[in-house]
Structure 1
Amino acid sequence: MEDTRAEALPIGAAEAAAALQTLQRYKAGKAALDKRLIDNELWFRMGHWKNYRDPLMPGKAQPSSGWLFNSIANKHADAMDNYPEPMVLPRAADDQATAQALSSVLPVVLEQADYEQVYSDVWWRKLKQGTGVTGIFWDPAARGGLGDIAVRSVNLLMLYWEPGVQDIQDSPDLFHLSLEDTARLTAQYPQLAGHAAGVVDVPRYIHEDGQTTANKSVVVDWYYKRPDENGKLRLHYCKLCNGVVLYASQNDPALAARGLYDHGKYPFVFDPLFVEEDSPAGFGYIDVMKDCQNAIDRMNHAMDENVLLASRQRYVLSDTAGVNEEELADLSRDIVHVVGRLNDDSFRPLQTAGLQGNSLSYRNSRIEELKEISGNRDLTQGGTSGGVTAASAIAALQEAGSKLSRDMLKSAYRAFARQCYLIIELMRQFYDEQRVFRITGQRGESEFVPFSAQGLRAKPMPAVGGVELGSREPVFDIVVSAAKKSTFSRLSQNETAKECYKLGFFDPANADAALAALEMMDFEGVEKVRARVRQNGTLAQQLVQLQGQMARLSAALAQQPGGTQAAQDTAGLTAQLPVAAAARAMNWNGKEVK
């Protein structure tokens, strides 16, 4: 009876077998990419000689220089210096409060999901493999069963999609593979007992610790899109292992018609470094730099061999020379015995020619070529060349040399915005109960903000002429900025603030002239500065009016009997007003100056 019920379900053994056949077809189409990913991991670990051993030189030292690794490490450091922060903007005026709450809550949700570590891991894979992949899932077991959003870095080697699609969302099926312990899986899913034979193999990176997969099973997370009775595509999910269906959303009565996620998208966000046509995956810096790095390493090998040979004393010795070879090879002996007479024909030193200057120049030129290819010039790392010593000139060159990093960051920010949209959609679907988030206010104080999906779900539209217009679901825009700025960026912004202060931009009396100058300026946070200067100008006008009123009040009080002291107190208050105005003007980027 159990087998009959299993076959009657929408996803059974036949559907699982068809899905595994589709997976094998996808694997065949991705075989070249998988090989490149495994090869790039060796290049990153400077272990690429495992694939490029020269059979003509067995046992010879094969050095690996770190120029390629240094370029990638510097670009990863640039990414971490510009950690993203979301700002949610509403598209309708009545969604303003919800957008403000989301702007405060989203960073807390990301922090609770350990997003900074995920961001770092995704960037390493983006630089090494050419594509960083982030998974946005709903974890129903989190928070003691309440459930919460889980953000994970996904290994591109374990993802398979239909060959030829440019956008991952266009693939009819998407497979994510993982290796898990067979005993633990059998304990969790009893239907897996007796099905221990693996039917799917996975590509693996080359490790030096001799990892074994004898007690592992390949778990296949099968995501697929199928239309419902209304023609709308629904996202469904099936968990397979060794040909057995462990779970399927179509077999779940609560999700059979609705699908796994209401947003209907695969929960994976691809962030390619350099885009390839007809593929959601791109290529990275290792693919561009590996040939040049290989040439440098081969030259290092040849030069090291030359230095070793030149440092050793070798001889050409004839069989008739009569020289004791053991005594000749023993450098501790002061006397070497010879039988007969030596001459140049039977015995002579063999001297290895030293390195030529043009060889060293050629090697250095290949190193400079690799730096140019990767955009990892000396100035981007804080070094100087060409006699540049002025701080302003160095700063300008560093800013010009960082355009490649800024371009990569913009791509990462676009992917981050897509991740935030998926997080908001999961909040809309699963945040049924109200949750409280601790956020940090503008002045550093802790605030507790309640939040639920009530403000995200569809709201009824007001009737017009007695006609119901249905409901409207709030829609938001996400603007991404750098939460953790580099030291150079902070220094540049601080210098801009000091220049504005020296020029009198924050003097309320200069508000009109300062606003005219700020309209022609463009730097991060300029809108806040314009708002503050405009507010200072309004405050100055109010101050002038108030001082006039105080002066007239003081004159009127002085004419009254006993009003001299009151007039003096009023004059003292008037003198303190400019101090208060100046203190209020001393504000930068929303932070009060103590």
Structure 2
Amino acid sequence: MKKIGKEQVRKARQTLAKYKEGKAVLDKRIVSNEQWWKLRHWGEIGYDKDDTRPMPASAWLFNSLANKHADAMDNIPEPAVLPREKSDEEVAKQLSLILPAILERCGYEKLYSDGWWYKLKNGSMCTAVVWDPDADGGMGDIAIRNADILNLFWEPGIKDIEESANLFYVTLVDRERLNLMYPELCGEEPESVAGGTGNVEKYKTEDKTDDSAKVEVVDWYYKKTINGRKQLCYCKFCGDRVIYSSEDDESCADGFYKHSRYPFVMDTLFVQEGTPCGFGYIDVMRDAQMYIDKLSQVVLEHTVMMSRKRYFIRQNSAVNEAEFADLKNRFVHVAGNLGEEDIREIKAEPLDSSVMNALSFKIDELKETSGNRDFSQGSVSNGVTAASAIAALQEAGSKLSRDMIKGTYFAFQQVCYLIIELIRQFYDTPRSFRITGGYDAFDNSAIKEQNRELFGVQLGTKKPVFDIVCTASKKSPFSKASQNELAKQLFQLGFFNPETAVQALGCLAMMDFEGKEEIERVIRDNAGMNEVKI
């Protein structure tokens, strides 16, 4: 008898409905943030949409997000694997080469870019690290994807998704495609495989979409404690019909994924208590952007009023109004005498300076709250001309970006740990990887859990464990220029002269910069070649 059937799926759908209700406010905020991002925010909360008035949508908020994204792209993370035991040094070196190759296969740089847009807009991005059994010609391989938080559902009130009793990921699939993917569903009653499409909140797109032919397919992850050990279980269902259940799969006796973690990693921008999701820059800046647009609306209306002259004309005036309104006419006919009261210009008073001051204040407020000051974009004022002063201002202005990127590095470490665990579980057959210097074949034999034995006595099992260190694989042009400048200065000061190696190493001991260890090694090698003892 199967452990997961229609009754269990119906209960899971009831749980999913509760989870959806718990994150309804978040879903609406994400949909609204997308409108702000597209500069389509007139009509959103706080705006009175009136088509008879100008509706300016300035891109101050957009510009701030674009600059933050550019900072993130200058610092794409790259993993380095460190062993915790000396016996694992060789396999750690192999993993340090193989992890970047797996990330490249999965198109991680594009995923990183798209995820950062999502994170800046909504305060969180979610990365899924799963095993795709159909990849690599049916051999299976690791797949990394960005997960839309609108489609992800967890237990309300928790801070970490690992604390959630269940985790659901819902996707909309065309019914015909679903029948091709899972032929066993053909012939089922429509209501048994539909379940509606109301669980996932929809974005307001410019495309006209029709979801009438789509059905919801739910990936349901949950945890059970078996023999004192937590196991991750997985079930895919549509409506009340089970497509796959790991509990009914003999090959998953130790759990669907042996690492027993949900295959989703959350990366938050600004942390909120009581939820695994944070809030983003749009949530911080939307108030200032709203008043910038409203004040701009007043300025534009007044500018139009000032540039378009209007007149009072007495009702029984002798002026030909049609000729007077047509600016092409050189002559305007008048019946009888034209008095001063027959026609009079409506004077528009100049706009009060307080309006422009308020507009400038709101623009400055948005810049300050987002950390998007002028020097962070490469421009400076107030007479700052020295290159070192400009560099110092830019370095100080980027500390907010460095802080955000550091948070992404923490999440990236968890992504790499999940990749290693999937390698440990599924890479039973050697696979070829293109790495620096040629090609390499790798399997999981060296990182699998192994029995330890001493003099014929069993000492238990050992599972190699590794630490992940993240560094920036790409540097900004300014960082490269400063690094090159430092190298030239060290050369000019004679750091690479073997006769001054002792002094150079003493000076380096007090310095701190990236690549310092490599410089020390070069100096020591030069000194050794010239028989200078250190």
Name the residue aligned to 2:237.
240
Q: Distance in 1 between matches of 2:488 and 2:176?
A: 65
1:217 maps to a residue whose letter is V
Q: Distance in 1 between matches of 2:151 and 2:49?
A: 36
| TM-score, normalisation: structure 2 | 0.96
Find the residue that maps to 2:260 and give its secondary structure: coil
Contact map agreement 1:182 1:217 (CA 8 A) in 2: yes
Find the residue that maps to 1:49 and give its secondary structure: coil
Any unmatched runs of 5+ in structure 2?
A: none
Contact map agreement 2:195 2:215 (CA 8 A) in 1: no
Name the residue aligned to 2:441.
450
Q: 2:450 aligns with which of 459, 462, 480?
A: 459
Q: 2:348 aligns with which of 347, 352, 364?
A: 352
Find the residue that maps to 2:250 and give its secondary structure: coil
Residue 469, structure 1, aligned to residue 463, structure 2? no
Residue 84, structure 1, aligned to residue 59, structure 2? no
Q: Structure 2 matches for 1:155-554, cutoff 5 A?
A: 155-192=148-185, 193-197=187-191, 198-200=194-196, 201=198, 202-228=200-226, 230-255=227-252, 257-440=253-436, 446-463=437-454, 467-541=457-531
1:511 maps to a residue whose letter is A
2:385 maps to a residue whose letter is T
2:365 maps to a residue whose letter is E
Between stretches 398-407 and 294-303, larger displacement belongs to: 294-303
1:51 is displaced (CA, Å) by: 2.1
Name the residue aligned to 1:21.
14
Contact map agreement 1:307 1:354 (CA 8 A) in 2: no
Q: Distance in 2 between matches of 1:270 and 1:347?
A: 69
1:341 is displaced (CA, Å) by: 4.3
1:137 maps to a residue whose letter is V
Q: Distance in 2 between matches of 1:54 and 1:375?
A: 25
Contact map agreement 2:46 2:290 (CA 8 A) in 1: no
1:325 is displaced (CA, Å) by: 2.2
Q: Distance in 2 between matches of 1:55 and 1:265?
A: 46
Q: Distance in 1 between matches of 2:492 and 2:190?
A: 75
1:179 is displaced (CA, Å) by: 1.1
1:342 is displaced (CA, Å) by: 4.3
1:309 is displaced (CA, Å) by: 1.4
1:205 is displaced (CA, Å) by: 0.5
1:429 maps to a residue whose letter is Q
1:159 is displaced (CA, Å) by: 0.6
1:359 is displaced (CA, Å) by: 2.4
Between stretches 350-359 and 24-33, larger displacement belongs to: 350-359
Q: Structure 2 matches for 1:140-151, cutoff 5 A?
A: 140-151=133-144
Find the residue that maps to 1:27 and give its secondary structure: helix
The structure with the largest alpha-carbon Rg is 1
CA RMSD of aligned residues (A): 1.7
Residue 104, structure 1, aligned to residue 111, structure 2? no
Q: Distance in 2 between matches of 1:495 and 1:218?
A: 57
Deviation per CA, 1:445-493, whole angstroms, max 9, x where unpaired? x3212211011112332426x6421121001001000011111111111
Contact map agreement 1:321 1:340 (CA 8 A) in 2: no
Name the residue aligned to 2:53.
60
1:472 maps to a residue whose letter is K
Deviation per CA, 1:114-171, whole angstroms, max 9, x where unpaired? 1111111111110011001111011111110111110001111111100111111010
2:442 maps to a residue whose letter is F
Q: Distance in 2 between matches of 1:348 and 1:269?
A: 70
Q: Distance in 1 between matches of 2:334 and 2:190?
A: 75
Aligned residues: 528
1:96 maps to a residue whose letter is E
Find the residue that maps to 1:203 and give its secondary structure: coil
Name the residue aligned to 1:549.
none
1:533 maps to a residue whose letter is I
1:360 maps to a residue whose letter is M
Contact map agreement 2:42 2:49 (CA 8 A) in 1: no
Name the residue aligned to 1:563.
none
Contact map agreement 1:195 1:242 (CA 8 A) in 2: no
Q: Distance in 2 between matches of 1:119 and 1:365?
A: 34
Deviation per CA, 1:398-439, whole angstroms, max 9, x where unpaired? 001100010011101111111000000000000001112111
Between stretches 130-139 and 242-251, larger displacement belongs to: 242-251
Contact map agreement 2:128 2:263 (CA 8 A) in 1: yes
1:249 maps to a residue whose letter is S
Q: Distance in 1 between matches of 2:49 and 2:233?
A: 55
Q: Distance in 2 between matches of 1:523 and 1:339?
A: 88
1:506 maps to a residue whose letter is F
Name the residue aligned to 1:128.
121
1:219 is displaced (CA, Å) by: 1.2
1:53 is displaced (CA, Å) by: 8.6
Contact map agreement 1:236 1:260 (CA 8 A) in 2: yes
1:321 is displaced (CA, Å) by: 2.1
Find the residue that maps to 2:58 and give its secondary structure: coil
More helix by share: 1
Q: Distance in 2 between matches of 1:195 and 1:282?
A: 41
Which of 1 and 2 has higher RCO (CA within 8 Å, sep 6+)? 2
1:55 is displaced (CA, Å) by: 5.5
1:344 is displaced (CA, Å) by: 4.5
Find the residue that maps to 1:454 and give its secondary structure: coil
1:337 is displaced (CA, Å) by: 2.8
Between stretches 245-254 and 269-278, larger displacement belongs to: 245-254
1:329 is displaced (CA, Å) by: 1.5
With over 3 angstroms needed to count, the CA separation of the structure-2 counterparts of 1:339 and 1:295, relative to structure 1, is: same
Q: Distance in 2 between matches of 1:167 and 1:424?
A: 21
Contact map agreement 1:196 1:242 (CA 8 A) in 2: no
Contact map agreement 2:232 2:261 (CA 8 A) in 1: yes
Between stretches 185-194 and 362-371, larger displacement belongs to: 185-194
1:304 is displaced (CA, Å) by: 1.1
1:80 is displaced (CA, Å) by: 0.7
Find the residue that maps to 1:145 and give its secondary structure: coil
Q: Distance in 2 between matches of 1:79 and 1:55?
A: 35
Any unmatched runs of 5+ in structure 1?
A: 1-7, 441-445, 545-594
Find the residue that maps to 1:453 and give its secondary structure: coil
1:236 is displaced (CA, Å) by: 1.0
2:245 maps to a residue whose letter is A
Deviation per CA, 1:263-308, whole angstroms, max 9, x where unpaired? 0000000000000001110000000000100100111111111111
Contact map agreement 2:451 2:460 (CA 8 A) in 1: yes
Find the residue that maps to 2:488 and give its secondary structure: helix
